[in-house]
């Protein structure tokens, strides 16, 4: 087949726009492209590969002639339209949280568990951005030396909340510099110059839903439900890229040099780790890049068999759009669609 009938749901959003950018960059085999969004965005014009497309309102009849549908329009939209698209014959690759913990829906990072794609029943879930970048770096190590415990602190960019949050940070910086009163609408507190240790809603456990996602999704993706995981997720005044400090307790002793050796050949990982030259991953350098960048690899002196590392990746790119496109590419290359 020379090309596939592709749809993007949420085409005018930040991730939807990144879908278009990546599909064009990677020369994804498209025979026809349909762009869908809410009724508010219907009629907007979007360019792809030099051609102009009109965004249509998403309806129950939108998916009759679609092979692959990339969804990034929120949980409620996915819960309603993804099953309809699947029944219409499309394979849905969904970027929301709607299906990630559904036992009937594979949760996939292609560098880790591409074999799970074959288990789909019309819907494949894209993991949370903070989970994706971490497991890409951890799984190659886990295969060599099983992981027992993870303690994670994430520093997550405002782009993970969407364009209104990007605008809010930008406006608050301007207000601060001008000496004006700082106004907040997206977050419960000022985000400019002020990390907020609250992402998504709080659960009865005292953890947030974002933190619990990292626990549940790590288990499901890596097929390693015995790993103990504790996460603290923090929204920080950074526009792009999530950064994570991860303490890993392995089953057996492992040296930092061995960790570097494994990660230097791991798919989707780039090691930047030379403290003598102040070389380690930075959000400003990783924006727009595909990989998970790893540095500050060192022994965890607080526990036996422990390693601490610093992981940075573009949350909109690998953390969302690129991972979904890679799932589609894997299906095409392996004759699964």
Specify whether the backbone of 223 is left (phi greater than 0), alpha (psi in -120 to 50) or beta: left
If one counts every other C-beta atom within 10 angstroms of the C-beta of residue 165, the result is 20
Torsion of CA 271, 134, 328, 45, to 10 degrees: -90
Contact 169, 191 (CB under 8 A): yes
Which candidate in 120, 233, 242, 286 is catalytic? Answer: 242
Which candidate in 129, 233, 241, 286 is catalytic? Answer: 129
Which residues, at least 6 apart from 88, have a Cβ–Cβ distance to it below 8 Å?
63, 64, 66
Q: Please say if 142 is a catalytic residue.
A: no
Which residues, at least 6 apart from 248, have a Cβ–Cβ distance to it below 8 Å?
138, 141, 147, 149, 150, 300, 306, 307, 308, 309
CA 75 to chain centre: 15
Q: Please say if 242 is a catalytic residue.
A: yes
Residue 221: C-alpha distances to residues 72, 112, 139, 227 (Å): 20, 7, 9, 12
Contact 45, 54 (CB under 8 A): yes
Which residue in the block uniquely carries the two structure tokens 């329009």?
73
The residues that are catalytic are 129, 242
């Amino acid at each position: 087949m020379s090309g596939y009938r592709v749809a993007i749901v949420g085409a005018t959003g930040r991730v939807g726009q990144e879908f278009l950018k990546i599909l064009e960059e990677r020369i994804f085999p498209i025979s026809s492209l349909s762009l869908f969004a809410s009724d508010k965005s219907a009629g907007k014009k979007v360019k792809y590969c030099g051609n102009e497309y009109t965004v249509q309102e998403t309806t129950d009849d939108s998916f009759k002639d679609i092979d692959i549908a990339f969804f990034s329009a929120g949980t409620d939209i996915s819960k309603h339209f993804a099953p309809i698209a699947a029944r219409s014959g499309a394979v849905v690759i969904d970027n929301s949280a709607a299906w990630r913990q559904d036992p009937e829906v594979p949760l996939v990072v292609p560098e880790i568990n591409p074999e799970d794609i074959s288990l789909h029943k019309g819907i494949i879930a894209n993991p949370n951005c903070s989970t994706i970048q971490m497991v890409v770096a951890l799984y190659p190590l886990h295969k060599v030396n099983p992981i027992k415990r993870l303690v994670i602190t994430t520093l997550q960019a405002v782009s993970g909340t969407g364009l209104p949050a990007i605008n809010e940070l930008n406006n608050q910086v301007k207000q601060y510099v001008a000496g004006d009163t700082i106004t907040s609408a997206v977050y419960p507190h000022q985000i400019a110059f002020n990390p907020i240790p609250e992402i998504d809603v709080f659960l009865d456990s005292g953890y947030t839903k974002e933190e619990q996602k990292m626990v549940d999704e790590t288990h499901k993706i890596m097929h390693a439900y015995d790993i103990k995981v504790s996460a603290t997720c923090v929204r920080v005044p950074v526009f792009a890229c999530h950064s994570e400090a991860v303490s890993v307790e392995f089953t057996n002793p492992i040296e930092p040099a061995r960790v570097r050796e494994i990660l230097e050949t791991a798919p989707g990982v780039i090691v930047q780790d030379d403290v003598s030259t102040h070389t380690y991953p930075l959000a400003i350098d990783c924006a727009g890049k595909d990989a998970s960048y790893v540095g500050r690899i060192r022994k965890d002196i607080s526990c036996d068999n422990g390693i601490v590392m610093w992981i940075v990746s573009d949350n909109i790119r690998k953390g969302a759009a690129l991972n979904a496109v890679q799932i589609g590419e894997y299906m095409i290359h392996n004759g699964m669609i």
